[in-house]
Structure 1
Amino acid sequence: MTPGVILLAATPIGDAADAPPRLRRSLEEADIVAAEDTRRLRALAGRLGVRVQGRLISYQEHNENERAPELVRAAQEGARVLVVSDAGMPSVSDPGYRLVRVAADAGVRVSVLPGPSAVLTALAISGLATDRFCFEGFVARKPGDRSRALAALATEPRTMIFFESPHRLAGTLADMADAFGADRPAAVCRELTKTYEEVKRDGLGALATWAGDGVRGEITIVVAGAPPVLARVEDHVERVLTLADSGSGLKDAAATVAAETGLGKRELYQAALARKG
């Protein structure tokens, strides 16, 4: 028997016209379509003018552990399994990761049908740096957990991307302003690719005030990374002296701290010598 395949397929995040021809074909040809929401998948298929011929089953966060082995067995028996989430790419803040792990462990082929992504769409339109970025998903719901998680990201140098629900947006932006600074540049991207698409760019404090009036729709937040902190010689002289006192010798201690900080060895040595004098 020819082995089957599990295909993770990206679906439009708003505009159905963004669906590639390969998605239309895959929906018609799949033996099994595992959808996060079967009703939304049927509605999408209707808008695309395609008919789902295979078995349509629910595959969501609450049944992923049970469904994953079932789908892998079907692929082992030769089935073409198509996995779709409500919008965007399965496994990116949506079900799919566990299935890929089970399939990989079983030696079942997994492939990807690329397409729309709210993460990359928001990053591209944000106006913030795109050379290095990280995706943080949804922030914690409980205020204390959220504040701690954001505090841990305060010095993250990469552009950060978050998902958030509209009714928690104002509170999350206010917590981000506290953790990252009210002036940290950010963008709130709302209803991307849809009729009422909106991108609001400002400092986090101003965005929190704006969101206080109420915001609707699917939300993606993009936040600039922390600016680099320039090392100063005077801030590291004490460490040079401490290392020197422990037996390293002043020149060797200056060389060690220079390697740690990127500061000049000569400048550190001279500053330590002056402090010692």
Structure 2
Amino acid sequence: MLYIISTPIGNLKDISLRAIEVLENLDILLCEDTRHTGMLLKKLGIKNNPKLVSYYMETEEQKIPEIMEYLKKDLEVGLVSDAGTPLLSDPGWLLVKRCQKENVNYTAVPGASALINGLVLSGLPMGRFCYLGFLPKKDGDRKKILSKYKEIEGTKVVYESPFRLKKLISQIKEIFGDKVEIRICREMTKKFEEVLSPEKLSGEKGEAVVVFY
């Protein structure tokens, strides 16, 4: 069976009891970075020693036949991303689609998600929202996507690197107008967690979740 396992986005205490139980009983664990995941298992006190298999966006499709063989041998296979919920801007959806096609059992072990956490912290309406993930690096492509979503009602959520954050905010204001409300959520669940409006933004502190309405 395939288990899609959410892991903490910063605070290790956010791991669920169910996730720990599943991790303790896996044969194979698919992960973006085997070293990173190995350290996570150690910090969580996982005594099981599953085989760690590298599984990231660029190799996802070519790895699927190997993984399906594991699953058809009735091995317990887990999938994690570096942090948070897999498949959200991370690999995994192609594997789930193949499991559906070949009637292989799978389930999700829910937990931390930067997307949901950012929405909750933003203080903006959550009745309807659109997740845009990471936008393209080229200005023209970014503006094209933002313009497309301008016509869709509801709050929008974008993941962004610290180096393009100010540029993104400028483009959002340009396309959505000066009345747009923007919140930047950084270091979520950690000691220095912050939720900022654009005028209070300073420094570069890792990836941010940008929520605007």
Q: Normalization by structure 2: what TM-score?
A: 0.96
Amino acid at match of 1:41: T
How much identity, in percent, do the aligned residues show? Answer: 35
Amino acid at match of 1:220: V
Alpha-carbon deviation of 1:52? 3.9
CA distance in 2, matches of 1:185, 1:215: 21
Matched, 1:217 2:203: no
Matches within 5 A, 1:73-88: 73-88=69-84
SS in 2 for 1:166: coil
Residue of structure 1 aligned with 2:157, choices 149, 152, 161: 161
Amino acid at match of 2:34: T
Q: Deviations for 1:66-90, whole angstroms, at most 9, x for unmatched residues?
A: 1122112211111110000011111
Deviates more, 1:43-52 or 1:89-98: 43-52
Q: Deviations for 1:170-225, whole angstroms, at most 9, x for unmatched residues?
A: 11111111111122011100011011100013xxxxx1x554x432123101111x
Runs (4+) of structure 1 exceeding 3 A deviation are none
CA distance in 2, matches of 1:130, 1:90: 22
Where does residue 119 of structure 2 map in the other structure?
A: 123
Where does residue 131 of structure 2 map in the other structure?
A: 135
CA distance in 2, matches of 1:53, 1:28: 8
Count the aligned residue pairs.
Answer: 213
Q: Normalization by structure 1: what TM-score?
A: 0.74
Higher relative CO (Cα under 8 Å, sequence separation at least 6) belongs to: 2
Where does residue 94 of structure 1 map in the other structure?
A: 90
Where does residue 105 of structure 1 map in the other structure?
A: 101
SS in 1 for 2:144: helix
Aligned alpha-carbon RMSD (Å): 1.2
Amino acid at match of 2:191: T
CA distance in 2, matches of 1:176, 1:69: 41
Which runs of no fewer than 5 residues in structure 1 stay unpaired? 202-206, 225-277
Q: Deviations for 1:73-126, whole angstroms, at most 9, x for unmatched residues?
A: 211111110000011111111111111011111111110000001111110110
Amino acid at match of 2:104: V
CA distance in 2, matches of 1:38, 1:177: 40
8 Å CA contact 1:35, 1:86 repeated in 2: yes
SS in 1 for 2:58: coil
Where does residue 21 of structure 2 map in the other structure?
A: 25
CA distance in 2, matches of 1:156, 1:186: 17
CA distance in 2, matches of 1:124, 1:177: 22
Amino acid at match of 1:162: V
CA distance in 1, matches of 2:58, 2:148: 29
Which structure's CA Rg is the greater one?
1
CA distance in 1, matches of 2:71, 2:106: 10
Where does residue 5 of structure 2 map in the other structure?
A: 9
8 Å CA contact 1:14, 1:194 repeated in 2: yes
Amino acid at match of 2:182: A
CA distance in 1, matches of 2:193, 2:122: 13
Matched, 1:189 2:185: yes
SS in 2 for 1:189: strand
Alpha-carbon deviation of 1:27? 1.6
